[in-house]
Structure 1
Amino acid sequence: MAKQSTKNKLDTSALRPLLRYAKPHMWLFILSMVFAVITVATTLYAPILVGNAVDLIIAKGLVDFDGIINIIIKLSVTVTVTGIAQWLMSLCTNKITYCVVRDIRNDAFAKLQKLPLSYIDSHPHGDIISRIISDLEQVSDGLLMGFSQLFTGVCTIFGTLGFMLSINVKITLIVVILTPLSLFVARFIAKNTFKLFHQQSVARGDMTSLVEEMTGNQKVVTAFGYQEEAEEQFEEVNLKLQKVGLNATFFSSLTNPCTRFVNNLVYMAVGIVGALSVIKGVGFTVGNLSCFLTYANQYTKPFNEISGVITELQSAFASAKRVFEVIDETEEIPDSSNATVLTSVDGTLDVDNVSFSYVPDVKLIENFNLHVKSGQRTAIVGPTGCGKTTMINLLMRFYDTDSGEIRISGEPIKDCTRDSMRSMYGMVLQETWLKTGTIRENLCYGKPDASEEEMIAAAKSAHCHGFIKRLPKGYDTVISDSYSTISAGQKQLLCIARVMLSLPPMLILDEATSSIDTRTEILVQRAFEKMMQGRTSFIIAHRLSTIKNADTIIVMDSGHIVEQGSHDELMAKNGFYADLYNSQFAVT
């Protein structure tokens, strides 16, 4: 019983937000209902006209042609009105559905921009993509069927019931008593398919994540000969999706034949009782029987359609639940209303007793202290996993410290707006990122109002102006991070030029020249030297020869500063740094 109540609660949790998104489009909902009523009314009026026409055919040679022609004219008008009303109703339902899905997708994507980086780091990117695209497509299909068939189905049930009561109460009661069996059967099946559809959505997300991972790293997969293992992994996920999809489809497909069986029983009962009434001559004509049989079929048909709608809505709710999980995630702690907007800084940085860990049980950085003077070049070195990149994440406030305080120009960064604080930094990372667009748009990403001369000067400083001019459209060449004709090194040069164009007062260079050849690296290092003059800079490098000129070298190990000083001072100590440096030039 507890398990069943949980399922019902899941349904409600998905339904309420959907209704909230549909509320702004209530006028379309009302219009759709009006057209649904018109459609049902004219559809139900047509059998009366047909029944009247049947009664005008008394016997061979005794046919009221004038009356039949008059009925045919009325029937033509009725059918035309039905078609127009149905088209307008579909127009309204389509508008509601796609507007609701558009709003949900906008909110989901906007939420991704507000979520802490920890959420993005801890969730497969393919699964997030699946929620926003594939799952919302399922929601769209479910809502479309729900709006279009649920409205007309309910109207048809009550409308048909009223028309049948006006013709014969006794036969109407037979229909009313037998028809709920169809609804009970459909409800029993649909109630047990929600879990299967939810499993299907999860499996679909796993598959999207796997495909995105493998196609995005196909070179590595091929280089390590991992194709067969990748195929096996894909086959396993695909088989899981096939099983849960087959089970969900199988159980949901039972709805239609089961409800149709009950509906045929109703139709048979109406035919038998109606025929006997006509034979007895109790005021029930052949035309009435023809009309009633049509109504009986129309009355049971919505139950069949509604059962199908319920099944489709279960799938939609299961998918919507996954999307709303993203929308309901806790956002990054917002800036306080009185947060300081940094417009300029002197470049000083203080880190006081900072502790941080990604996982509470696994300590990473503990009681970290650092003081950086204005314009100072600080290199951070250490073995893999010592916390170098983590420190950059904390400086940029991609993650908040567990304890302690970080200050820029004496101002605690938690008391500053994130945007203004981050605008004080220029970052060049080892992992390049370029948005889909022209080279011009990528270079001006951090400074949209940059002039042509400024952009070209930055490109020349980063030594990428030459290869840009050799491209078919120069600075107007469209590139992308995932596919383009430029190399990884050229992409990194563009990222360097992007920072050189904005020239913020503080710089973070995380393996900024890792993808560049030695000759170009020397030229870029000279450009960096010029760019870093008068600017506080943090340099992370594994090649220790590139940070020999740093004012201060911080040596980290297991989240702590183990040594600090200039290159010459640290080499003289012959300690941890000297071992790291000498290991890179050791002769084996």
Structure 2
Amino acid sequence: MSNRRRGPMGHGPGAGMAGEKAKDLKGTMKKLIKYIRRYYVPIVFVILFAVASTIFNIVGPTILGDATTEIFNGLMRKVTGTGGIDFDKVMNILMMLMGLYVVSAAFSFIQGLIMTHVSNNITYQMRKDISEKIHRMPMKYFESRTYGEVLSRVTNDIDTLGQSLNQSMTQIITSATQIIGVLIMMIRINIPMTVVVLLTLPLSMGMIGVIMGKSQPYFKAQQANLGELNGQVEEIYSGHNIVKAFNKEESVIKDFEEVNGRLYQSAWKSQFFSGAMMPLMQFVGNLGYVLVAILGGFLVIKNTIEVGQIQSFIQYVRSFNQPITQLAQVGNMMQTTAASAERVFEFLEEEEEEEVKEDVVPVETLRGNVSFEHVRFGYNPDQTIIQDFSVNVKEGQKVAIVGPTGAGKTTLIKLLMRFYDVNAGSIKIDGHDIREFIRSDMRQMFGMVLQDTWLYNASIRDNIRYGKLDATEEEIQGAARAAFAHHFIVTQPGGYDMVINEESNNVSQGQKQLLTIARAILADPKILILDEATSSVDTRTEERIQMAMDNLMEGRTSFVIAHRLSTIKDADVILVMNHGDIVEQGNHEELLAKGGFYADLYNSQFESA
């Protein structure tokens, strides 16, 4: 939506986490179980239907073995001349078997529907929680990470989590039920053969433990590298014109291949271990078949077991090894689940902006007097940018903030909007510390027009009324006329209904600036913040916009980060900043007469204007 992007070469701190192991596997799974507890009723039904379906499947081989025994005995009777095969009895047995399998399939289908509904609800709720969390996060979180890394948690991690939950939860239930049920049925048939099968279990469990231990770091690295790759692709795509302008295609491709190579290596290794699980478990299963066949043949010769029971037992051996293999695969899948869930919960548990709970100050009666009292601030506690900043701005005054690059002008605005809280001192509006307001209420007082324009993928009308959703058509067009945007809007295909595309590149930079100014005019705020609002328009349009902005600023407190002479000369108060402090303040004539820092700045930057 936003057309404000990081530079195409930046990846931000925290993007590269390759090879990192899960910090707390058990803790993450506990959090996940606690999170899905709200769906315990449908999950109970999933368990019941899954268990019932599995039990009906387990009984099947025994009944089929009875049919085999009946056929075998009938053939023996026919050979000895004492009778033949009782086809009616065999048919009744097979019909009963078919009925069991139909009921089992029905139960399996129902539990699959319920589980799909549950997993979709979980992912829906997670996305909703993350979306709400984003609006409670401090600005410093997003300024220290790439967009792709944050987006990866909403898309890749939650998708992976939902898919693995849908498959693994049902698989765990059915596999566990099948192992217990099959073990009981095997014991009923023959204890010695059951012991032989169980002797292969330690080998299976040892293989599963080794593979899971080896694969977990690679699954974690795979998710982390995927997030980094998404961030890089998103940044390069949004800044492709800058990449081409500086002939950085080869450098970008090299960076991409490096990250893509790390993703390939972690994905290859994780999938290798995951793929190795099945053939190894099949080998152990085949070993069990051989031992059962040898012992079973010996017991048939001794007439201690029926042929049909041997057939049933061999089917049960297959049914016994299969869920063990499936549990091993679920183990791998759960590692992916844990890696994704850990990243999601890390985001959900990030520090939020503190909000006032009691004695909230209402904003309706505020007039717009602003005071900075001995403000001290640094983005890092050990690197202070603003040392000791104090100023009083009266209601309706127009304040121009000037100073060289890095002087702290934009930082001052971020503190005023409470994107960051001061480390010491206070900022007050009409005598009330801004920390006594609810952030959302306080920000309704402000209107912002920034140098970096922000429009989203919607119609021009919707973009203008972004700050006042109940605005009428007359109010929208009136704001557009006041910002000198109406003429260019009506000449566009669709006029006010024309949709701004995702990158906002179907209108010019100057036109985007006009739309953001119209948006601020329509919002009709008490305090205005303008950051070089006319830098992207031509001189004639700038003059018109300046007239509109002068009318808008009339009677309102205005903070203008100014680089243009006309804005500075008309200001009631000029704050001259350098290295985070106000070094001078006054109006244009007073500061020039002092012959100090402002006069030097003016003579070097504005004299030619």
Give the CA deviation at 1:8.
Answer: 8.2
Correspondence for 2:396: 375
Code of the aligned partner of 2:26: T
Mapped partners of 1:188, 1:30: distance in 2: 33
Please identify, of 376-385 and 243-252, the stretch whose mean Cα deviation from structure 2 is larger.
Answer: 243-252
Mapped partners of 2:285, 2:134: distance in 1: 48
Mapped partners of 2:511, 2:308: distance in 1: 82
Of 99, 106, 122, the match for 2:144: 122
Of 351, 359, 381, the match for 2:372: 351
Mapped partners of 1:496, 1:332: distance in 2: 28
CA deviations on 1:168-191 (whole Å, 9 max, x unpaired) are 122122222322421231122112
Mapped partners of 2:533, 2:247: distance in 1: 30
Mapped partners of 2:148, 2:201: distance in 1: 45
Mapped partners of 2:23, 2:363: distance in 1: 47
Correspondence for 2:29: 15
Correspondence for 1:449: 470
Give the CA deviation at 1:141.
Answer: 2.5
Please identify, of 471-480 and 134-143, the stretch whose mean Cα deviation from structure 2 is larger.
Answer: 471-480
Query: Is the 1:455–1:501 Cα contact (8 Å) retained in structure 2?
Result: yes
Correspondence for 1:41: 55
Code of the aligned partner of 1:274: G
Give the CA deviation at 1:402.
Answer: 0.3
CA deviations on 1:321-355 (whole Å, 9 max, x unpaired) are 11111101111111232221211322211111000
Of 113, 129, 133, the match for 1:107: 129
* Larger relative contact order (Cα-Cα within 8 Å, sequence gap ≥ 6): 2
Code of the aligned partner of 1:57: I
Mapped partners of 1:69, 1:483: distance in 2: 72
Correspondence for 2:538: 517
Give the CA deviation at 1:412.
Answer: 1.2
Give the CA deviation at 1:113.
Answer: 0.9
Give the CA deviation at 1:586.
Answer: 6.2
CA deviations on 1:354-387 (whole Å, 9 max, x unpaired) are 0000122222101101111111100001011100
Of 159, 162, 167, the match for 2:181: 159
Code of the aligned partner of 1:137: D
User: Does residue 1:436 correspond to 2:450, yes or no?
Assistant: no
Mapped partners of 1:340, 1:67: distance in 2: 85
Correspondence for 1:3: none
Mapped partners of 1:341, 1:15: distance in 2: 43
Of 456, 461, 467, the match for 2:488: 467
User: Does residue 1:360 correspond to 2:381, yes or no?
Assistant: yes
Q: TM-score, normalised by structure 2?
A: 0.93
List aligned pairs for 1:265-304, cutoff 5 A.
265-282=287-304, 284-304=305-325
CA deviations on 1:211-264 (whole Å, 9 max, x unpaired) are 111111111111111111000110111111111111222223222222221111
Correspondence for 2:338: 317
Query: Is the 2:369–2:394 Cα contact (8 Å) retained in structure 1?
Result: yes
Code of the aligned partner of 1:28: P
User: Does residue 1:306 correspond to 2:327, yes or no?
Assistant: yes
Give the CA deviation at 1:573.
Answer: 2.4
Query: Is the 2:565–2:606 Cα contact (8 Å) retained in structure 1?
Result: no
Q: Secondary structure at the match of 2:24?
A: helix
Of 432, 435, 442, the match for 1:414: 435
Q: Secondary structure at the match of 1:374?
A: coil
Correspondence for 1:549: 570
User: Does residue 1:217 correspond to 2:239, yes or no?
Assistant: yes
Mapped partners of 1:506, 1:265: distance in 2: 79
Please identify, of 268-277 and 172-181, the stretch whose mean Cα deviation from structure 2 is larger.
Answer: 172-181
User: Does residue 1:527 correspond to 2:548, yes or no?
Assistant: yes
List aligned pairs for 1:62-77, cutoff 5 A.
62-77=84-99
Q: TM-score, normalised by structure 1?
A: 0.96
Correspondence for 1:398: 419
Please identify, of 285-294 and 139-148, the stretch whose mean Cα deviation from structure 2 is larger.
Answer: 139-148
Identity of aligned residues (%): 40
Correspondence for 1:333: 354
Give the CA deviation at 1:7.
Answer: 6.5
Give the CA deviation at 1:437.
Answer: 1.7
Mapped partners of 1:437, 1:144: distance in 2: 35
User: Does residue 1:24 correspond to 2:46, yes or no?
Assistant: no
CA deviations on 1:524-581 (whole Å, 9 max, x unpaired) are 0000011111111000022334321111111100001111111122222232222222
Code of the aligned partner of 2:426: E
Could you say if the C-alpha distance between residues 495 and 129 of structure 1 is closer, same or farther in structure 2, counting changes exceeding 3 Å? same
Give the CA deviation at 1:98.
Answer: 1.8
Give the CA deviation at 1:64.
Answer: 2.0
Q: Secondary structure at the match of 1:507?
A: strand
Query: Is the 1:179–1:300 Cα contact (8 Å) retained in structure 2?
Result: no
Query: Is the 1:179–1:263 Cα contact (8 Å) retained in structure 2?
Result: no
Correspondence for 2:267: 245
Mapped partners of 1:354, 1:179: distance in 2: 68
Q: Secondary structure at the match of 1:547?
A: helix
Give the CA deviation at 1:134.
Answer: 0.7
Query: Is the 1:356–1:366 Cα contact (8 Å) retained in structure 2?
Result: yes
User: Does residue 1:385 correspond to 2:385, yes or no?
Assistant: no
Give the CA deviation at 1:484.
Answer: 4.5
Please identify, of 375-384 and 250-259, the stretch whose mean Cα deviation from structure 2 is larger.
Answer: 250-259
Mapped partners of 1:444, 1:306: distance in 2: 55
Query: Is the 2:400–2:567 Cα contact (8 Å) retained in structure 1?
Result: no
Give the CA deviation at 1:110.
Answer: 1.3
Mapped partners of 1:380, 1:416: distance in 2: 25
Please identify, of 260-269 and 393-402, the stretch whose mean Cα deviation from structure 2 is larger.
Answer: 260-269
Query: Is the 1:21–1:104 Cα contact (8 Å) retained in structure 2?
Result: no
Q: Secondary structure at the match of 2:466?
A: coil
Could you say if the C-alpha distance between residues 197 and 432 of structure 1 is closer, same or farther in structure 2, counting changes exceeding 3 Å? same
Correspondence for 1:234: 256
Query: Is the 1:343–1:420 Cα contact (8 Å) retained in structure 2?
Result: no
Give the CA deviation at 1:150.
Answer: 0.9
Code of the aligned partner of 1:311: N
User: Does residue 1:539 correspond to 2:560, yes or no?
Assistant: yes
List aligned pairs for 1:116-195, cutoff 5 A.
116-195=138-217
Code of the aligned partner of 2:49: F
